[in-house]
Amino acid sequence: MPAVRNIRLCTKDCLCLYVCPTGATDTETGQIDAGKCLPGCRACVDACPSHAISLAPVSYPPPQQKTDEAAEALMKLAESKLSQARIAEGVAQSAGDADTRQIADAVAQSNRLMAEDLLREAGYLLPQSENVRALLQELLQQPQDAGFPADAAKRLLELL
């Protein structure tokens, strides 16, 4: 795992820049050259008093496949979060004072974000980009098995 630096935390004048055995840390700019970094060394991480340096994994494990029961539970929880967001939006609209509106808006936004995370975890949320558009078009052009949701893919393309 190579070391990475969080520039927001870094003071750039710490001992951690000088302890690197390979010279991967640039003492002028504070940048870390991942190509020179020794995997698992941790010398700069342990020496950094501001905790601005950490180790970053080179690769991540593949995501675990969700069982149908787990995906269904995630979808139900997402529906619950969206319902709570709608309730909070109603409270915000009918609130008489600014503090109540502000809190209700925050609760609504928080619940929407949690619902998005749950949907993403369940595997039902795609990023909106040209890469997704190209992937969906490619999938629709290729022969798929009977379980492929072609209508859903076409609808997603219309929405993108």
Q: What mean pLDDT do residues 113-134 have?
A: 81
Count of alpha carbons within 13 angstroms of residue 5, beta-carbon side: 25
Contact 140, 160 (CB under 8 A): no
Query: Which CATH topology does 1-60 take?
Result: Alpha-Beta Plaits (3.30.70)
Alpha-carbon Rg for the chain in angstroms: 24
pTM of the prediction?
0.48
Q: Kindly list the distances between the CA atom of residue 59 and the CA atoms of 62, 63, 65, 115, in Å, as whole numbers in the listed order.
A: 9, 12, 18, 27
138 versus 160: the higher-pLDDT residue is 138
The residues spanned by each domain of the chain are 1-60, 67-125, 127-160
The one-letter code for the residue type at 84 is Q
- The Cα-based distances of 154 to 7, 118, 119, 137, 149 in angstroms read 43, 23, 20, 8, 9
**The pLDDT of residue 127:** 66
